[in-house]
Amino acid sequence: MAKILIVEDEKPISDLINMSLTQAGYLCVCEYNGMNAADRIERESFDLILLDIMLPEVDGYELMDYIRPLSIPVIFLTAKSSVSDRVKGLKLGADDYLTKPFEIIELLARVESVLRRYHQNQHVINIDGLTIDIMSRTVLKDGIAVNLTKKEYELLLLFVQNKNIALFRETIYEKIWENDSMGDSRTVDLHVQRLRKKIGWEDKIIAVYKVGYRLEV
């Protein structure tokens, strides 16, 4: 499930986008000003950012400085329809833009198309000495291949895609073992232990008391 950050200070517009994208099956997070958005981008991973240009505190153009090094695709949302603003957005590294007001159907089409392009090009994740290649499902630790089972690999991806967020054992179990009713939360513990050991992340995948685990990077 693609995770999308919506940075838009006009609540009705943000709510409408959130509702439409959630209905379409995306996981959405909303921020209403540039400072909070910058904090959020540093803490969490996103597949796409919808970014309003005119924002309180830090505007959309400035936020691009935080986003660009992370190579997260961006669609600018803007009330400005002049050619120079569009060109500025694209020059700053945005993948696309939408001029407000826009039709939801257009928003969905652009989101889908940017995500498709992004996933075709960006199938390698580099994180804390690990290189994860989504296409070949291979994992390298400091350049050396690590042999993970299918479940360990999926578990690793889940942690990486939700870095710095505490995940409930039950949530982890449901996501990784969805149709497999054989195990329980102890299955999660066992797999986490083995994964930690294999990739040397004993001090990074932290047990959270009464919750589950959190990847700290």
Report the residue number, 78 or 162, with the smaller CB distance to Ca ion.
Answer: 78
* Residues 8-37 as x/- pattern, contact with Ca ion by CB under 5 A: -x----------------------------
Phi-psi category of residue 133: left, alpha or beta, with phi > 0 → left and psi -120 to 50 → alpha: beta
CB of 37 to Ca ion, least distance (A): 12
Instruction: Please tell me whether residue 151 adopts helix, strand or coil conformation.
Output: helix
CB of 61 to Ca ion, least distance (A): 12
Size of the site for Ca ion (CB under 5 A): 3
CB of 166 to Ca ion, least distance (A): 32
CA distance 196 to 203: 8
Q: Residue 166: is it exposed, middle or buried by C-beta count within 10 angstroms (0-12/13-18/19+)?
A: middle
Other beta carbons within 10 angstroms of residue 64's beta carbon come to 20
Report the residue number, 57 or 170, with the smaller CB distance to Ca ion.
Answer: 57
Return the residues of window 54-83 that contact Ca ion according to CB under 5 A: 54
Residue 145's closest CA among 161, 158, 126, 132?
A: 132
Among 52, 95, 152, 154, binds Ca ion (CB under 5 A): 52
Contacts with Ca ion, residue ranges (CB under 5 A): 9, 52, 54
